[in-house]
Amino acid sequence: MSLTLRHMRPYGARFALYSVLVVVSVLFTMATALSVADFLKILFGEGDTGSTPTVNLVAHWLDGLYAWLISFGRLNALLLFSGIIFILYGLKNVFGYLSAIQIAKIRINVVRDLRNELFAKTMRLPMAYYNEHRKGDVMSRIGSDMVEYDEGIMGSVQMLFVSIISLLLYLSMLFYLNLRLTLFVLCLLPLVAFVISGLSRRLKQKSKKVQEMNSHLVSLTDETIGGLKAIKAYTAIDFVNQRFRKYNRDYTRRRTSMFRRIYAASPISDTLGNAIVVAILLFGSWLIMNGDHGLTADLFISYVMMFVLMIPPAKDLTTAITQIKKGKACADRIDMFLHEKEEPYTNHPTPTIKSTPNIIEFQHVDFAYKDGIKALTDLNLVVPRGKTIALVGISGSGKSTVADLTCRFYDVQQGCILFDGLNIKDIPLEELRSHIGVVAQDTLLFNDTVLANIAFGLPSATRQEVEAAAHIAQAHDFIANLPQGYDTPIGDGGGSLSGGQRQRISIARALLRNPELLIFDEATSALDSESEYQLQQTLSHVLRDRSAIVIAHRLSTVTDADMIVVMDAGHIIEQGTHAELMALQGKYCEMVKLQTL
C-alpha cells in the first residue's frame, strides 16, 4: 500500500472532504434505520410511550419523535413519517454521490500520475535494461498492470474506506443500543475473518504468477507481429499458433484458479452474515423474554435493522481485502519497476564544453555486456575535431559499441572517454547528447508527418530549417512529391516510405540539430548506389566543420575518410588513410579485395 499512499498524498485535502461526505451519508442511513421502530408503532397504534422506561438517549429521542408525530393523528403521522424517511434516503444518496465523485477524481488522478511516472521511467532506464528484459514485459507494466492496479487496488481502496467508516459507525451505535448483544455478535465475527483469510491467503502469489504470464503473452504477441514476414516465409504459422495456444491455456488455467478464490469470498461471507442475523434474532428475543430492560421490542427492531445495514459493508470489506491481495502482486511489480536503476544522471553543475583539438578520446577502454564477453579491450582511439574517422571490420568487432559508449548508452568498465577534454561521466547526459547527432542502421520513424519526424527532439525548428536539412540529406525532392509534401503522414514506422527514403529522413533529422559530432552507424546501407553517391558528395562539405564517426561495412563509402580504423574482436589492428592501408597489404586490403570481387 506504500505505493498507493505515496501517490495519494498530493490529494490529501480532497480525501479529507471525501471522508466527511462518507460519514454524513452513513449517518443519514443510520437515522433512517433508527426511525423504523417509530414507523411500526404508528402503524400498529401503540400509543403508550411511557410504559417502558427510556434506557438511553437514542430510545429517548425515538420516543420523543413518536410522540410528536402521533400528535398529528395516525394517518397524518404515517404521511409525515414517510416524508421524513424519503428525505433521509434522499440526503443519504446525495452525499453518497458527492463522496463517490471525490474518490473517483482521486482514483483517476493517481492512476494518471502513476502511468506518467511509469512512462517517464521507461525513458530513463539504461539500454542495458532492455537487453536483459522483454519489451512486452515493460509494455504490460503501463498497459495491463495499470488496468489491474486501477481495478484491484484503487477500486478496492475506495470500497475499503467506505466499509471501514460504515462498520465503525454502525458498530458504535450497536454498542450504544445494547452492550450484551453486541459483545455476543463480536464473538462470532472472528469465525468470518478466519474463513475469509483462508480463502485469500495464497491469492497474492497466484496473482503475481498470472501477471508474469500475461507479460509473456504480450511479449509473444509483440514478437510475433514484428516477425510476421519471417513466420509467413518459413510457413511457421501453425507452429506459432500452437505455441501461443499452449501458453494461453496455461495462463487461462491459472487465472481460473485465481478467480475461484476471489468469487468464493462474497457468497461465503454472505452466508455467514445471514447466520449471524439468525443468531442475533434468537439471542435478542431471549433477552427480551427474560426481562432485559436494556432492550425493548421496538429498540430491538432498530438494532436488527442496524446490523442488517452492516452486512453489505462487511461483505465489501472482505471483497476489498481479497481484491487488494490480488492487486498487491501487480502493485509490487509496478513498484519494483519504478525502483530499477536509472541512467547515471549527474547532479554536478553543467561543465563548459570548450573547443579542443580532439573531440573524442578513448583511453584504455574496456567494456563487456552482461554475458562477460568483452566487446572492447584496452581501446585507445582519438577523433580529431573536424575530421571523419571511419570504423570498419567484421560483425562483432566492436564498431557499434564505440558509438554506443560515445553516446553513453552504456558506461565503460575500465578506462575513460573524454569529450572535448572532459570525462563524459561528468557531463549531464542531456548536455552530452545535445552535442551528438546519430544516424543508426535501424531507422526509427514515428507515426506522424514528415515535418514532425525531421523536427523530432527540436520542436523549436522552423519549417525553413527543416527543409534546409532535407536538402542536405537529398530528401527534399521525394518529400515534395509526396501527396501533402512535408505534412504527409508516413504511417507506423514510416511504412509508407522506402528504406532509402526513411534513412534520408533520419539523416535530415540528425543534421537539423547541427551537432558538433555526427555518428553514422551504417547510415547509407539502405540507399541505392546513385542516392548513396549523391549523399556522400553532399555530406563531404557538411562534415568539414564537424567531427564524424562513420561505421560502415561497405568500404566504398569510407575511402575519403581522414582516417580509417580497422577493428577485430574489440581491438584496433590497423589505422590510416585508404591509400596507406592499401599499401600496407593487411586486413583492410584483404576486405577491399573481397568486396571488389
**DSSP readout, 497-550?**
S-HHHHHHHHHHHHHHT--SEEEEESTTTTS-HHHHHHHHHHHHHHGGGSEEEE
Contact criterion met (CB below 8 Å) for 523 and 441: yes
| CA atoms of 517 and 514, how far apart (whole Å) | 9
Copy the grid coordinates of residue 480: 515534395
pLDDT at 468: 86
Contacts (Cβ under 8 Å, ≥6 apart) of 238: none
Contact criterion met (CB below 8 Å) for 465 and 439: no
pLDDT at 54: 46
Distances (CA, A) of 473 to 461, 482, 553, 593: 16, 16, 20, 30
Give per-residue burial for 496-534: e unless 16+ CB within 10 Å, then b. Answer: ebeebbbbbbbbbbbbbbebbbbbbbbbbbbbeeebbee
User: Which run of H or E residues covers position 164?
Assistant: helix 155-177
pLDDT at 44: 60
Query: Which overall architecture, per CATH, does domain 2-338 show?
Result: Up-down Bundle (1.20)
pLDDT at 192: 66
Contact criterion met (CB below 8 Å) for 318 and 261: no
Q: How many CB atoms lie within 10 A of CB 470?
A: 26
Instruction: Give burial (CB, 10 Å; 0-12/13-18/19+) of 125.
Output: middle
CATH superfamily assigned to domain 438-514: P-loop containing nucleotide triphosphate hydrolases (3.40.50.300)
Q: Could you identify the residue written with the cell 516465409? A: 233
**DSSP readout, 102-124?**
HHHHHHHHHHHHHHHHHHHHHHH
For residue 57, give the DSSP letter.
H
Alpha helix (H) residue ranges in 201-236: 203-226, 228-233
Phi, psi of 401 (to 5 degrees): -65, -40
Mean pLDDT split into 10-residue runs, the chain, 597 residues: 81 90 88 68 53 52 68 74 81 90 88 87 80 75 80 81 88 82 78 63 65 73 70 72 82 79 70 76 78 68 80 78 76 83 62 68 87 82 87 85 87 88 84 83 78 82 86 83 86 74 82 84 68 66 75 79 87 87 86 76
Q: Helix, strand, or coil here: 393?
A: coil
Residue type, 11: Y
For residue 556, give the DSSP letter.
G
Copy the grid coordinates of residue 398: 566492436
pLDDT at 250: 84
Sheet holding 374-384, edge to edge: 374-384, 358-368, 414-419, 422-423
Q: Could you identify the residue written with the cell 522552423? A: 462
Comparing CA positions, the residue from 10, 239, 238 lying closest to residue 109 is 10
Copy the grid coordinates of residue 52: 417502558
Contacts (Cβ under 8 Å, ≥6 apart) of 270: 311, 315
pLDDT at 98: 92
Phi, psi of 390 (to 5 degrees): -105, 135
For residue 153, give the DSSP letter.
I
pTM: 0.70
Contacts (Cβ under 8 Å, ≥6 apart) of 255: 210
Q: Could you identify the residue written with the cell 501487480? A: 330
Q: Where are the domains of the chain?
A: 2-338, 438-514
Copy the grid coordinates of residue 254: 491459472
| CA atoms of 81 and 43, how far apart (whole Å) | 11
pLDDT at 292: 62
Comparing CA positions, the residue from 135, 143, 136 lying closest to residue 118 is 143
Copy the grid coordinates of residue 273: 452474515
Q: Could you identify the residue written with the cell 509490487? A: 332
pLDDT at 60: 62
